[in-house]
Amino acid sequence: MAYIDYYGILGLNKDASADDVKKAYRKLARKYHPDLNPNNEDAHRKFQEINEANEVLSDPEKRKKYDEYGENWKHADQFEEARRQQQSGGNFGGGHFSGGFSTGDSGEFSDFFENLFGGGGSGSYSSFGGGRKTSGYRGQDLNAEMHLSLRDVAETHKRMLEVNGKKIRITIPAGIANEQVIKLSGHGGPGINGGPAGDLYITFIIAEDPIFKRVVNDLYATANVDLYTAVLGGETTINTFDGKAKLTVKPGTQNGTKVRLKGKGFPVYKKDGEFGDLFVTFNIQIPDKLTDKQKNLFQELRNTSN
C-alpha cells in the first residue's frame, strides 16, 4: 500500500510542533504557489501535496489519526469501531458491524483492513438485514493561501483560484482581514464511492501597505508638514485611500499631532457603505539647509523670544 509521507513533504520530523508545521507550510506554499509558477505542472503538483500535508498535520485530531493509520487516517473511526467489535467477539460476516468502510472497491483499503485484522473482512456490511453494501465517504478538506495587497481588498472583486487542476471563481468581499479563512463547501477533495466532496479553506494573506497601516477598520498614516506652516498655520495635502484631501494645520502645531478623518478608513467587512476612520500624524520637518539670512532671522527670533 502506498504511503504518503506528509512530514517528508513539509521537510519535518514526526515530533515537529504545530508552529513548525505552520512555518514550513507557509514557506513552501509561497515557493510553489501557482501564481509564481505559471504553466509549471511539477510546481502545481507540489503545491497540492503541500496543501494536503498541511490540512492533516495542522489539525491535532487528524494528525493523531494519521500518525497511527497513515494514508488511511480518514477511516480511523471505522477501524477503531471494527477493532472494538473484534475484541468483543463481533461477527463481521453476520451483519453485526455497521461501520462505514468499504473494501470491495479499493485494493489499498482492503489490504490495510486485512493487515489490521488478519484478513477478517472483505466488505462493508449493514446491521439492517445483513446485506453487503459499499459506503460512500466524504472527500478530504483542502487548504490554500491567497496573497493580496491592502488595496486589493479595499473593494469587493472576483478572482480565479486553481485547485487540483480545477479553476474556481470566487468573490472576495471588501474589508477581509489578514489571515482570515473562508470555507468553500464542496470544493475540496473528491468523495470516495460516490460520497460528497470535501471543503476548501482559503487563508487570505494581506501584505503591508507602504503608506497606510491598517488596524481592524481604521487606517493610520503620516503627513509631513514644513516648520513654517506648523508655526504660522496653513494647509497641507495628504493621501487618503481613495485620493487626496486638504487638511488645515493650526498655528503652533506640534510634532506628532494626530488628526482624525471620519469615514476615510477601510471598508467594514460585509457592511456596504461603512468605513473606519483615517488617523493622520503630523511630522514636522526641520530645515537643515538655511541661508545666512534665514539663520539671522532665526537668531533674531530667538533673541526676541528670550
Q: How far apart are CA 109 and CA 101, in angstroms?
A: 9
Q: What's the order of all strands across the beta sheet hosting 200-206?
A: 142-148, 200-206, 181-184
Give pLDDT, residue 81.
66
Q: Are 172 and 151 in contact (CB under 8 A)?
A: no
Q: Give CA–CA dist 146/169, Å, rounded.
A: 13
Rounded to whole angstroms, how far apart are CA atoms 42 and 31? 12
Count of other CB atoms within 10 angstroms of residue 280: 22
Check residue 105 and give its pLDDT.
39
CB neighbourhood size of 148 (10 A): 16
Cell of 185: 463547501
The one-letter code for the residue type at 41 is E
- What CA dihedral angle connects 191, 195, 197 and 198, to 10 degrees? -90
247: phi then psi, degrees, rounded to nearest 5: -120, 140
Assign 196 to helix, strand or coil. Answer: coil
Closest CA to 166 of 184, 193, 153, 179: 184
Per-residue pLDDT of the chain (306 residues; tens, 9 = 90+): 345 788 888 999 888 999 999 999 989 988 888 778 878 888 888 888 898 889 889 989 888 888 877 766 777 776 666 666 555 544 433 333 333 333 333 444 444 444 444 443 333 333 333 444 456 788 888 888 889 999 999 999 999 888 777 888 999 999 999 989 899 998 888 888 888 888 899 999 999 999 999 999 999 999 999 999 999 999 999 888 888 899 999 999 999 999 999 999 999 998 989 999 999 999 999 888 888 898 888 888 888 877
The alpha carbon dihedral of 71, 74, 79, 80 has a sign of positive
Count CB-CB contacts under 10 A for residue 95.
15
Nearest residue to 153 (alpha-carbon basis) of 269, 33, 26: 269
Rounded to two decimals, the pTM is 0.54
Task: Give which of 220, 221, 214, 222 is closest to 174, Cα–Cα.
Answer: 214
